[in-house]
Amino acid sequence: MNTIVGRKKQIIIKTQNMPISLLITGANGQLGFSITKLFLSFGYKVLPLGKSELDITDRAEVAKTIAAHAPQIIINCAAYNQVELAEENIKAAFAVNASGPFYLAKSADSIGARFVHISTDYVFDGELEFYSETDPARPINAYGASKFAGEQLVQAACPSSIIIRTSWLFGTSSDAGSHNFVKKMLQAAQNREEINMVDDQYGKPTYAGDLALKIKELLEEKNAPSGIYHITNASVCSRYEFAKEIFSLAGLSAKIMPQSTRKSGSKVLRPKFVALENKRLMELGLAPMRPWQEALADYLKEIRP
């Protein structure tokens, strides 16, 4: 039975041998898929909803679905992630990344569910390079602006929410046609002998499987306060270094040539250097995540056994 104690939305969940119930949106994406698999394997009662089951931009449907299932935890993994396309489709990006999370947060708040929302390193401009949770956000493209708006709306609608910022995600998803940087590099190596990759954008690659596990640890932490958390694999690299490691671990011989963002022809402004410091996780005493290189090796074994 789910009991809510206290007037300040302090949520105490009494499970009494009942599995904890979890609703996941965007469940067919990389993180949604990993979270679904992980929580199911730990005996949680999981309701994974892909876009065709719940479009988070449909306010009435969101309210109806959440009221009908009354989950104890809601994790929003749905997002409009195409950074380049977002520049031309600002309305669509804001609908999925800002309005949708607001509707979910409002409904979560109304039933006293713990709401977890996922955000991004792209809320920062990259000038500071190393960012903790308290550093001010300053997005420099439409995708980043829509995700930052989402964070603010979520916090206003559901003050007990947990917002997780992560970066450079790679992982398996139930959609075989889905893309991430690792898959793109593997495909490029099949078609070309020489590949140009930018060497002036730095970040922290993060494996969706590792992130899912850390989210579970955080949710199981009794004293985890609400607010923003940065969660990434350890160690920073450039896109060029990331690509080189992918090829090296995959045993591919294609050559990678470093290139500046200016020469790459990208029309979108991207932060040059964002290393999300996982400060609040450390303060809670949770172990840091492993270096991305180790996680990448495991991911490659998963997709190329």
Options 2, 21, 30, 160; binder of ligand NAP; rule CB under 6 A: 30
> What is the number of other CB atoms lying within 10 angstroms of the CB of residue 221?
13
Q: What is the spatial distance between Cα 117 and Cα 255, in angstroms, rounded to a whole number?
A: 38
Interface with ligand NAP, residue 107, by CB under 6 A: no
Q: What is the spatial distance between Cα 233 and Cα 33, in angstroms, rounded to a whole number?
A: 18
Per-residue x/- track, 147-166, ligand NAP (CB under 6 A):
x------------------x
- In the structure encoding, which two tokens stand for residue 167, read together? 């970066």
Interface with ligand NAP, residue 169, by CB under 6 A: yes
Interface with ligand NAP, residue 118, by CB under 6 A: yes
Interface with ligand NAP, residue 78, by CB under 6 A: yes
207 in active site: no
> What is the number of other CB atoms lying within 10 angstroms of the CB of residue 122?
27
Interface with ligand NAP, residue 167, by CB under 6 A: yes
Taking CA 110 as the corner, what is the angle to CA 108 and CA 111, rounded to the nearest 5 degrees? 70
Write the CB contacts of 55 (distance below 8 Å, at least 6 apart in sequence). 61
Q: What is the spatial distance between Cα 175 and Cα 289, in angstroms, rounded to a whole number?
A: 26
Interface with ligand NAP, residue 26, by CB under 6 A: yes
Interface with ligand NAP, residue 31, by CB under 6 A: yes
Interface with ligand NAP, residue 57, by CB under 6 A: yes
Query: Are 28 and 174 within 8 A, CB to CB?
Result: yes
List 143, 207, 229, 299, catalytic entry? 143
Instruction: Give contact residues for ligand NAP (rule: CB under 6 A).
Output: 25-26, 28-32, 51, 55-57, 77-81, 96, 100, 118, 120-121, 147, 166-169, 173, 175, 178
Active site residues: 143
